[in-house]
Chains A and B, each alone.
Chain A
């Protein structure tokens, strides 16, 4: 039986930030190459997952990119409300990462 892996156990950085006022970008930087490669091969962090996690349509996920030099997987979404717009809650976008902390995968 495959073991469940918690993302927080294999990542050293999980963060969110604006990429301009209309986008939010999430960085997951892995602790070691083994986990990074495992996650890249399994393709478990993908557009569908991000869409489901943040309850947005998949077409609002702009991309999910593996960035080998930093052992990182990165996802960027369209902000539901632009930075500083009425009703918006996080001008810098730095506190939108928490749902990623709870992720668990069977690889």
Chain B
């Protein structure tokens, strides 16, 4: 069985890579270039608002290099979790970038677009059938909660990619997908072991993060054999060591031995990591264990209002020593001032220098620094109310007369004018659940298109 080579240029499409590393990768004649474009890490806003957390120019730069090289070499490019969150607006955004590149570079190719956004009505009907269950520790899902969701995506496994590959497309761009799927699909289609293909995908999805020194913006290549795979970073300054690769297996995982995904779990209890050369690590023994029922992960976000923040600082030791009482006093004043207006709002003070980073998990009680950074935050049903609450809390705090105050001109230093910033819509995750499916392709329709091709250009 010939080794199957998979090139991963970057950890997230748009994070970039040195062109030299990419060229090193192309010299090794990969069978596919694959890239993961998404994550839930940047939080619920991007899923809810339908925007990408990566920049359009940066994504276009990466794709331009990948698409041009792949067309020359005659190999496919596979993109998963397009636009970061993989919903319809995210996918359309990414497709428009691909089409623009095809047009500008005079490329023409057959492209599969795989959708991953799930209509609310369909999800509601699945919920009624008892086919949606929480992914612990996410809370139980109610019909009311699901109805508030503005966007739902399903995390596809590798099956829709394989289905697209069967139609001999040169580019696949997919909505939300299980990260390793883009790297594993071609291998599994060609009969390579599913467990090893997924495990290799788990490492390649973060590109050179699994090397040392690690980087999310540098290329990595994987070589998949019959009963092993190898990973090699493509920048000579980096190395893969058994430790750097094994350590990556821990990253962002609850249990590094058992990694659940669409249709089953990746079992690493018998995995062996061996140093092949000083830069290449060989992995074997990873197994895929199919589950009884095929489930996919659902992610959803709901809109809860609008945010306004004000950034300030204090350098006064008397004020710092009373910061908790002052905040309590400001809260009471805000509440009292608008008690007849029946405003619904959330008011919060992030106090950097005290517990601004860790909040309720902060074990240290005393403040040791000589200054504090304060973010006053208001969230309300509309922007105007959020502005009102934030503005009023800010002016109240600025002139709050606390015990023993000697600095009577003002309590806060504002680094900017205006002092308040409208942060716009606020979303939270309200869906992080598993849904049972009869067919892994069921929720992920595929469109086939021809991209690019200027009239008369080919002659």
Contact = CB atoms under 8 A, between A and B. Distances in A.
A69 B249 contact: yes
Interface string A1-24: 000000000000100011111110
A78 B429 CA distance: 15
Contacts of A78: 137
Nearest to B427: A84
A86 to B, nearest CB: 5
Contacts of B43: 21, 83-84, 91
A44 interface: no
B252 interface: yes
B247 A29 contact: yes
B246 A67 contact: yes
A85 B379 CA distance: 11
Interface string A63-101: 101010111101010111111111111111001101100
Contacts of B357: 89-90, 95-96
Interface stretch (B2-10, B160-168, B182-190, B359-367): B359-367
B432 A21 contact: yes
Interface string B244-285: 001101111111110000000000100101000000000000
A41 interface: no
A49 interface: no
B419 interface: no
Interface in B17-56: 40-45
A53 B427 CA distance: 31
Interface string B326-370: 000000000000000000001010100001111111010000000
B46 to A, nearest CB: 10
Nearest to A80: B360
B249 A82 contact: no
Contacts of A22: 137-138, 432
Contacts of A67: 246, 249-250, 256-257
A86 B44 CA distance: 11
B428 interface: yes
A21 B243 contact: no
B242 interface: yes
Contacts of B256: 65, 67, 70, 72, 74
Contact of B361 (A18, A27, A55): A55
B252 A89 contact: no
A62 B254 contact: yes
Give the size category of A's interface with B: 35 or more
Nearest to A17: B252
B251 A27 contact: yes
Contact of B429 (A13, A21, A74, A95): A21
B413 interface: no
Contacts of B42: 91-92
B450 interface: no
A69 to B, nearest CB: 4
Contact of A72 (B247, B252, B426): B247
B289 interface: no
Contacts of B350: 89
Given A69-B242, A84-B429, A90 B250 contact: no
Contacts of A105: none
Contact of A84 (B45, B138, B252, B363): B45
Given A62-B254, A80-B359, A96-B361, A20 B432 contact: yes
B304 interface: yes
Interface in B107-152: 135, 137-138
A55 B243 CA distance: 32
B459 to A, nearest CB: 51
A62 B360 contact: no
Interface in B273-306: 273, 304
Contacts of B379: 86
A21 B355 CA distance: 21
Contacts of A99: 361, 363
A84 to B, nearest CB: 4
Contact of A27 (B45, B250, B268, B429): B250
A74 B356 CA distance: 25
B184 to A, nearest CB: 21
Interface string B414-437: 000000000000111100100000
Nearest first, the 10 A-B pairs at minimum CB distance are A84-B43, A70-B246, A69-B246, A89-B359, A84-B44, A91-B43, A70-B247, A78-B137, A76-B254, A67-B256
24 contacts: A21-B43, A21-B429, A22-B138, A27-B247, A27-B251, A53-B363, A54-B361, A54-B363, A55-B363, A62-B254, A67-B250, A69-B273, A70-B246, A70-B249, A76-B255, A79-B137, A80-B359, A83-B41, A83-B43, A83-B44, A84-B45, A89-B357, A95-B357, A96-B361
Interface of A: 13, 17-23, 25, 27, 29, 53-56, 62-63, 65, 67, 69-72, 74, 76, 78-92, 95-96, 98-99
Given A19-B254, A74-B250, A76-B255, 10 more contacts: A20-B138, A23-B254, A29-B243, A55-B360, A65-B255, A69-B249, A82-B428, A83-B43, A87-B348, A89-B350
